[in-house]
Copies of this chain bind each other. A is one copy, B any other.
């Protein structure tokens, strides 16, 4: 048996954390031969509920789950972790200004970034899920100067999977026949789900769907899917977000298929003209535990306009938290 790896999950008693922890413990993220130690982090008031989550995890008798640590102390929670899923964040409440939202979350992700910097494994892979995810990831990354920027990512895989599903439903194709889709930019309403390089069962997606459907219906359907789920369930996406987090990490660790790529929020290094020092979603290929941006894709005027719009939003978000970077 391989030695166990350590996985930190913040907001572990929340709905996404709850959905993620069991699938991770069963080996869904890192494989059926990889023992895991879960380091579950919550704020003080949620520690009792977290105890309940721990009990349930133990009650599953998962053969791969070697140990569980529950804590509100970041230096304990992030100690030696190989992977960190930052799920817990402060949700937007009614009447809350966007700048307050960004600031309040900055106060969470700054200290988490510092704790990861000071205590985590030097090879830690960090995924930020808590919203506003891109800017939260930027804040965490900026507070971890001893680590590489490339170790911090934000989750776009839920948007990516949602876009795959809409395209699959429209074309009556299995999702696994769809490749080379990209969701660019921010995990927000300005995200740009791009099918221009996408292949469906070997055929060009743009030849299979009507472009007015794509621009007028598909884009907003994917962008607003979160709200649609809340309306139906009376609760925000939880298990699907957890599933996307697992997909993101699996891709990062085990690689993307040769003929495909995925969408990840990563620190921009200027590709496609996107300002550096933004956490921006690009098409990326993963291999041997690393990722790189898929370069040289042809961007038409519409695509250019769309990625500039989402970049502009991220620049504004960055401006609002600049004192935290």
Contact = CB atoms under 8 A, between A and B. Distances in A.
Interface in A28-67: 28, 48-49, 51-53, 55-63, 66
A158 interface: yes
A303 interface: no
A234 interface: yes
Contacts of A56: 229, 233, 237-240
Contacts of A53: 233
B58 A165 contact: yes
B228 A55 contact: yes
A169 B63 contact: no
Most buried by B among A168, A240, A247: A240
B48 A232 contact: yes
Contacts of A229: 52, 55-56, 59
A63 B176 contact: yes
Interface string A234-270: 1101111011100100000000000000000000000
A60 B161 contact: yes
B59 A158 contact: yes
Can you tell how many copies of this chain the complex includes?
A: 2
A71 to B, nearest CB: 16
A164 B174 CA distance: 40
B59 A225 contact: yes
**A contact face: mostly helix, strand, loop, or mixed:** helix
Contact of A19 (B22, B158, B162, B168): B22
Interface in A14-30: 18-19, 21-23, 26, 28
B23 A61 contact: no
Contacts of A235: 52
A175 interface: yes
B240 A59 contact: yes
Given A22-B19, A23-B23, A55-B228, A60 B234 contact: no
Q: Which 9 A-B pairs have the closest CB atoms?
A: A52-B233, A52-B232, A56-B240, A61-B161, A63-B176, A60-B243, A61-B175, A59-B240, A61-B164
Interface of A: 18-19, 21-23, 26, 28, 48-49, 51-53, 55-63, 66, 158, 161-162, 164-165, 168-169, 174-176, 225, 228-229, 231-235, 237-240, 242-244, 247
